[in-house]
Amino acid sequence: MSTATLYGLCSAVLVGLGLFGLIVHPQPLRKILAFNLIGGGVFLLFGVVACRGAGMGFGGDPVPHALVITGLVVAFAATALAVALLLRLFEQTGQATLRSDR
């Protein structure tokens, strides 16, 4: 098994773990954490594809690398917005929960 395949399997497990955390945790902040875990796994999958596309003197295909860099920044922006919404919900209602019946 090559290095790239090993990391690809790692990314598969990370996506599954993150999805489990997203479904199972009731607290929204834990869900945001799990979502970032999924993101890390997906970016790792991109990285595996890039590593397999190495050639022409580059260590890896540069196009997926650029996509992942863009994705990391956008994921941070989305996380920041999600956290701000959560904190606002907490200030308004005194609880951080996604349940609608109170």
Partner 1 sequence: MAFDTGLVLLVLGVAVWTIVARDTFAAVVGFVAYGLLLALVWVRLAAPDVALTEAAIGSGVTGVLLLGASTRLRRTETSGAGEKPGITLRLAAGMLCALVSAGVAAIVLKFPEPAPTLAPHTAANIAATGLGNPVTAVLMAYRAIDTLLETVVLLLALVGIWSLAPDRVWGGFPGARHHADPEGVLTFIAQLLVPMGILVGIHIFWIGSVAPGGEFQGATILAAMWILAMMAGLVDAPSVSRRWLRLLLVAGPTVFLAIGLAGFAMAGAFLAYPAPYAKLLIVTIEVPVTLSIAATLALLVAGPAERAPQR
**Beta carbon of residue 100, minimum distance to partner 1 (angstroms, whole number):** 12
User: Across-strand partners of 55?
Assistant: 58
Site for partner 1 in 36-65 (CB under 8 A): 36-37, 40, 43-45, 47-63, 65
31 binds partner 1 (CB under 8 A): no
**Beta carbon of residue 93, minimum distance to partner 1 (angstroms, whole number):** 10
Number of residues in contact with partner 1, rule: CB under 8 A? 80
Q: Six-digit token pair at 30?
A: 């834990």
Using the structure block, give the residue that is written with the tokens 């489990």. Answer: 20
Distance CA 43, CA 64 (A): 9
80 binds partner 1 (CB under 8 A): yes
SS3 98: coil
